[in-house]
Structure 1
Amino acid sequence: MPEGDAVTGATIELDELTKRYGHSAQPAVDGVSMEIAAGETVILVGPSGCGKSTCLRMINRLIEPTSGRILINGEDVTGIDPVKLRRRIGYAIQSSGLFPHMTVAENIAQVPKMLGWSKSTVRDRVEQMLDLVGLDPREFHGRYPRQLSGGQQQRVGVARALAADPPVLLMDEPFGAVDPITRDHLQDELIRLQHELHKTIVFVTHDFDEAIKLGDRIAVLREQSHIAQFDTPEAILTNPADDFVSGFVGAGAALKRLNLTRVRDVGVVDVPTAAMDDPRETVVDRLREGTSNELLLLDRRGRPYKWLRTGDLALAKGSLARAGTPVTGHVSRDATLRDALEAVLTDSAGRVPVTGRRGEYVGVVDMETLMNSVHELLEADRMAAIEHRHDLEEMRAHHTQEQLEAGFGEGGR
C-alpha cells in the first residue's frame, strides 16, 4: 500500500473518443478528448442520457468505442485484450454489484486470485482491504452480501475494486442507491481512501453537490458528452462558463463552497474527556479543571459516547452509566464544512465531535469555528468578484483605446 504522498495512479487520455449505436443519426458520445493526471479524481456530471456512463465504460472497454483512442500511462489500450485490461482497472457501480453466492472475502479476493496471487497473499490482502474501508475483518470476512446493509455492501464493493491495487478506479454512481446519511459517510470514506492511496479516479454522478465534494476537477457534459466546462470546483462555482453550467451550479454558490473545505482544514477544539470506566472522582476533577461545564465521555474504544454536564453528576449516584446525554452525531476529519454545519445545527449545544478512521475521538468543531470559515469564504468570493470586474473593465478600456487609435490612424491617412 502506498504511504505518504506517493501517487499510485496512472495518467488517462481520451482522444476523440466516440460511440455510435446501430444506425442512430447521432452518436451517444461524440469526439470526447480529455487528459486526466495520475492521482487525480475527475467527476463526470451531466443530464440523464448525455453519455457520461458510456464514456466511463469505454475506458475499461465494457463498451467498445466506435473510434478514438484511450491511453493509460501513454499506452493505447484499445488494441489489447479487454479482459486483461479490466483486471488492471478497478470498477465500482451502484448497488455494489457483489456476487450474492460468495462471501465478502471471496468477493474481494476474486481479481487477485485471477491474477495468480498466492493463497496467503490473497488472504492478507482481503484483511487489509476490509480494514482499509473500515470493516472489521473478523466480523465481515465470512458474511454474505444479503447480511450487509447497503452502506456496508458499497464499502465491500470499493474494497473489491481496489483489491488488486489497480492504478485506475472507475466509479459509476456508486452511492446513488443508499440513504443520504450513509451516502455522506461513504463520500467521506472515499475522500479518506484517496488521501491515502492517490489512485486515478473517474467518477460519474448526476449530483453536482457530490461532484463538488469529491472532485479535483469536474467535467460538466452536455448531450453526446460534449464538454461544457472542465475545471476545478472552485473555478466552476465562481466562474461558470455559460448558462448551461450555471444551471448545474444552481443557487447558493457560496454555500456550495462549504463542500470544498474539510473539517481537517479548520480549527478543531478540544474538550475535557473521560473514559466511561474512569472513577467518578476522576470525572469530577476533569469537569472542574475544564473551561466549560461539560465533558465528553468516551466508550471503551475511545469513541464519543455521552455529553456529561456538572448537573448530571447529582443525578448519578455512584454510577455514571445513566448520567448525561448520548452523542447523536459526529463527523469525520474528511467531512466537509457543509456536513459539519448540518450536524452542528441539529445539536442543541451547537457543537459536534470529530472522529478518526475507526470512530475514535479527535476533537470538537463548533458553530463559532464554522461561522468564521463561512465568513472567510464569502469574503474570498467577494474579493474574487471585485477582481474579476476590475479585469473586465481594464479589458474594455484597453479595447476602446485600441479602437480610438485605429480610428485616428484611418483619419490621418
Structure 2
Amino acid sequence: MPETVTTPSDSASARPASTSGATIQLENLTKSYPGSPSPAVEDVSMDIKAGETVILVGPSGCGKSTTLKMINRLIEPTSGRIRIGDEDVTDMDPVKLRRKIGYAIQSSGLFPHMTVAENIALVPKMTGWSKSGVKDRVEEMLDLVGLDPREFHGRYPRQLSGGQQQRVGVARALAADPPVLLMDEPFGAVDPITRDHLQDELIRLQHELHKTIVFVTHDFDEAIKLGDRIAVLRERSHIAQFDTPEAILTNPTDDFVSGFVGAGAALKRLNLTRVRDVGIADFPTVTVEDPLQSIFNKLRDGQHNELLMLDRRNRPYKWLRRGDLMRAKGSLARAGQLVHDTVTRDATLHDALEAVLTDSGGRVAVTGRRGEFIGVVDMQTLMNSVQELLEADRLAAMEHEHDLEELRSHRTEQELEGGDGGL
C-alpha cells in the first residue's frame, strides 16, 4: 500500500477494467549507502512471470526487504533497471508508480484515524474512481478477504484483531486493482493459527485474481506453502537458487540452500499439496436450532457414532457423540466437544495433519471463505496422501541415482577412449 500520495488528476471518473498480473524484470539492481564498505544489494537480476507468486527468503540482513522496496521505489536503487510489464519504471514518478503497485506490510500499516472502509478506499479515490465505484469496491474487497461488509465497514483498526487488520491491509493493497502486489513479511506479527489461515486466504485470493506477487519471508515453510518459485538469497541478495519449491526441496544447489531446507525435506513436501487436492468427505450435521430429539434420532439411526453441530452461520461448533446425548438431559449446553481447529480447502496437508493429530477424533472440518462448513478430511485420507508422496520421492531418488550412474559410466568411457588415443 503506497504511503506517499498526492492529489489525483480529475480525468478518470470510473473504475477501470479488472487487471491481472504483469511481468517484473530486475536488471543488475544495486543499492549502496554512503559510508558502507559494501552494497546492501548488489547486481540482482531476476525475471518474474506475470501472475506468479515469487518468495524472497534468506537470512536476516541479506537485503531481501531492500530488494522488494526497490521494486516500488520506496528505496531508490543506486543503479540498475526495473521493468513492470513493457514499461521501464526506473525513472518514472515514484508516487505514480506506487499507485500501480499494491503494498502490504507486517502489522498491516492501517491508518488508525480512518475507518476500515476509508482505509480501503484511499487509493481508488486518489486515482479518480467514481464515488459509486469506490463504494462498490470497498464492499467487494471486504467480501473478498472474508469480512462481512455490514459488520466491518465502519470499524476502526483498533477495534479489529491482528488477523482482521492484516486482512484489511491486503484488501487495501488490492483495492485499486494493481497488477503487482508486494508483501513484506505481512503475517509475521500474528499468532501461528491466524497466520496459517491468512496464508490460506492469500492462496485462495491468488487463485481468483492471478496477480504478480513478490513476498518476503524468513520462514522457509511459509515460502514452500505460498510460492510458485522461491529465490533463496545470500548476503547482498545474491541468488543462491531460484526455482520451484519441489526442485529446491529435492535438489538444493549447495550446503547454503540445504541449510534453509533443513531436516525432513520429505515431510516439508506436505506443504506442496492442498486439502482441495485430496478427498473431502461429507459428514452428518445438525444445527444449534434443531430439537434435541431430532438430533438424538439422527445420531441413533445414522452410520456414524458422531455428528457435527453447526452454529447459526453454518460454521462448525461442536462434535457430538452418542454418549454426549445420553448425558445431555434435555440440554446440549455442556454436551459435546467444541471445534477448536478447522482448515480451508487451500490449507496444506501439513496444516490438516497437524489439526487431525491434535484432535482425538481423527478428523478435521473443512470450511469456506466465511467459515461455513464444507466437509471433513480424516486421518486415513491424509496418511494415504503421505504414502503417495513418500513413494514418489523414493522413485525420484532412484531415477536420479540411475541418471548419475549413467553419467559416471559415460565419463568413464570417454576417459578410456582418451587414454587409448594417447598410446
TM interval, short-chain normalised = over 0.9
What's 2:355 paired with?
Answer: 343
How far has the Cα of 1:247 moved from its partner?
0.4
Aligned length: 409
Q: 1:395 and 2:414 equivalent?
A: no
1:339–1:123 distance in 2 versus 1, CA, 3 Å? same
What's 1:190 paired with?
Answer: 202
1:7–1:144 distance in 2 versus 1, CA, 3 Å? closer
What's 1:159 paired with?
Answer: 171
Distance, in Å, in 1 between the alignment partners of 2:56 and 2:354 is 26
Distance, in Å, in 2 between the alignment partners of 1:215 and 1:145 is 29
Match 1:93 to one of 102, 105, 108? 105
Q: Which runs of 5+ in 2 are unaligned?
A: 1-14
1:122-201 to 2 correspondences below 5 Å: 122-201=134-213
Match 1:84 to one of 96, 109, 126? 96
1:6-405 to 2 correspondences below 5 Å: 8-405=20-417
How far has the Cα of 1:279 moved from its partner?
3.2
Alpha-carbon displacement from aligned partner over 1:223-278 (angstroms, at most 9, x marks no partner):
11110000000110010000000000011111111111111111112211122222
- SS of residue in 1 equivalent to 2:366: strand
How far has the Cα of 1:321 moved from its partner?
4.2
Distance, in Å, in 2 between the alignment partners of 1:52 and 1:219 is 10
1:227–1:394 distance in 2 versus 1, CA, 3 Å? same
- SS of residue in 2 equivalent to 1:78: coil
Alpha-carbon displacement from aligned partner over 1:300-357 (angstroms, at most 9, x marks no partner):
1111111112222222344444432221211111111111111111101111111111
Distance, in Å, in 1 between the alignment partners of 2:355 and 2:190 is 19
- Tell me if the contact between 2:51 and 2:211 (Cα under 8 Å) persists in the aligned partners: yes
Distance, in Å, in 2 between the alignment partners of 1:290 and 1:215 is 43
How far has the Cα of 1:183 moved from its partner?
1.0
- Tell me if the contact between 1:217 and 1:232 (Cα under 8 Å) persists in the aligned partners: yes
How far has the Cα of 1:282 moved from its partner?
3.4
- Tell me if the contact between 2:274 and 2:345 (Cα under 8 Å) persists in the aligned partners: yes
- Tell me if the contact between 2:19 and 2:177 (Cα under 8 Å) persists in the aligned partners: no
Distance, in Å, in 1 between the alignment partners of 2:109 and 2:178 is 18
Distance, in Å, in 1 between the alignment partners of 2:280 and 2:175 is 34
Distance, in Å, in 1 between the alignment partners of 2:23 and 2:233 is 21
- Tell me if the contact between 2:147 and 2:370 (Cα under 8 Å) persists in the aligned partners: no
- SS of residue in 1 equivalent to 2:325: helix
How far has the Cα of 1:2 moved from its partner?
12
Alpha-carbon displacement from aligned partner over 1:46-79 (angstroms, at most 9, x marks no partner):
0111110010001001111111111111211012
1:166–1:7 distance in 2 versus 1, CA, 3 Å? closer
- Tell me if the contact between 1:306 and 1:325 (Cα under 8 Å) persists in the aligned partners: yes
How far has the Cα of 1:86 moved from its partner?
0.2
1:310 partner letter: R
CA RMSD of aligned residues (A): 1.7
- SS of residue in 1 equivalent to 2:417: helix
Alpha-carbon displacement from aligned partner over 1:365-399 (angstroms, at most 9, x marks no partner):
11111111111111111111111111111001001
- Tell me if the contact between 2:58 and 2:64 (Cα under 8 Å) persists in the aligned partners: yes
Distance, in Å, in 2 between the alignment partners of 1:280 and 1:7 is 51
- SS of residue in 2 equivalent to 1:79: coil
Distance, in Å, in 2 between the alignment partners of 1:360 and 1:7 is 29
- Tell me if the contact between 2:63 and 2:235 (Cα under 8 Å) persists in the aligned partners: yes
Distance, in Å, in 1 between the alignment partners of 2:35 and 2:331 is 76
1:35 partner letter: D
Distance, in Å, in 1 between the alignment partners of 2:264 and 2:33 is 39
Q: Which moved more, 1:262-271 or 1:212-221?
A: 262-271
How far has the Cα of 1:7 moved from its partner?
7.8
Q: Which moved more, 1:22-31 or 1:121-130?
A: 22-31
What's 2:11 paired with?
Answer: none
Q: Which moved more, 1:70-79 or 1:163-172?
A: 70-79
How far has the Cα of 1:284 moved from its partner?
3.3
1:66 partner letter: T
Distance, in Å, in 2 between the alignment partners of 1:358 and 1:306 is 17
Distance, in Å, in 2 between the alignment partners of 1:177 and 1:323 is 36
- SS of residue in 1 equivalent to 2:108: coil
- Tell me if the contact between 2:241 and 2:253 (Cα under 8 Å) persists in the aligned partners: yes
Q: Which moved more, 1:92-101 or 1:269-278?
A: 269-278
How far has the Cα of 1:145 moved from its partner?
1.1
How far has the Cα of 1:15 moved from its partner?
0.9
